[in-house]
Amino acid sequence: MARLDRVKNLTGLVELYGKNPRLQELVNLVVVCGDHGNPSKDKEEQAEFKKMFDLIEQYNLNGHVRWISAQMNRVRNAELYRYICDTKGAFVQPAFYEAFGLTVIEAMTCGLPTFATAYGGPAEIIVNGVSGYHIDPYQGDKASALLVEFFEKCQVDPSHWTKISQGGLQRIEEYTWKLYSERLMTLTGVYGFWKYVSNLERRETRRYLEMLYALKYRTMASTVPLAVEGDSASK
């Protein structure tokens, strides 16, 4: 449930699903994005539309994939989450990067076991293996294998689905209030300090930015994988 642009990687989700026959045996795939009735003027979205149709045809996914236009009605979205939850499904957020992850919060709030990108906000929201699962969008084969493992385990032991569902609900209760407020207060403090240093001389401001980069962002940037040549998910 996202925009149909490259960074959201919805076509990557369809591709990893199409490449895994066992996953197709276990579950169907519902994708919510784009607008079928209103052709996009954005070239990137046009390319993703074409790629989506091509993948569905290439892997013969008719009957396995339901592609629904993006929904603007919040009540309808909530009902869709609940329907998938009632049928013991799961939610997958495969973005190459997600700053926060509102749909992850929504899905977990509805009790859906959630698989989400390991790059960005969802990695902080989900405790891997307890309240959901982290997936690497650059490694579609491993992501699909993790989904297969989950659904096969749920077939053998239905309580496993409930365990992850309950873990997600508990995590959201903790995250959306206590942890979120703590991080908000931290950001407020950082913003206040930034307003202070922004009034200093340019040389001092530059030193502050270099310190922030060296202590925080250089380490974060080093964890982001480079695109692997030949990996279809990174093209």
69 Cβ contact partners less than 8 Å away, ≥ 6 residues apart: 32, 33, 34, 35, 36, 37
**73 band by pLDDT with thresholds 50, 70 and 90:** confident
**Confidence (pTM):** 0.76
pLDDT digits (tens, 9 = 90+) for 32-50: 998 877 878 889 999 999 9
Kindly state the average pLDDT of the residues 17-46: 91
Strand partners, 67: 31
The topology (CATH level 3) of 6-173 is: Rossmann fold (3.40.50)
Spatial separation of the C-alpha atoms in residues 15 and 192, rounded to whole Å: 45
pLDDT digits (tens, 9 = 90+) for 91-119: 999 999 998 888 999 999 999 999 999 99
Distance of CA 81 to the CA centre of its chain: 15
69: nearest Cα among 120, 1, 134: 1
Spatial separation of the C-alpha atoms in residues 44 and 46, rounded to whole Å: 5
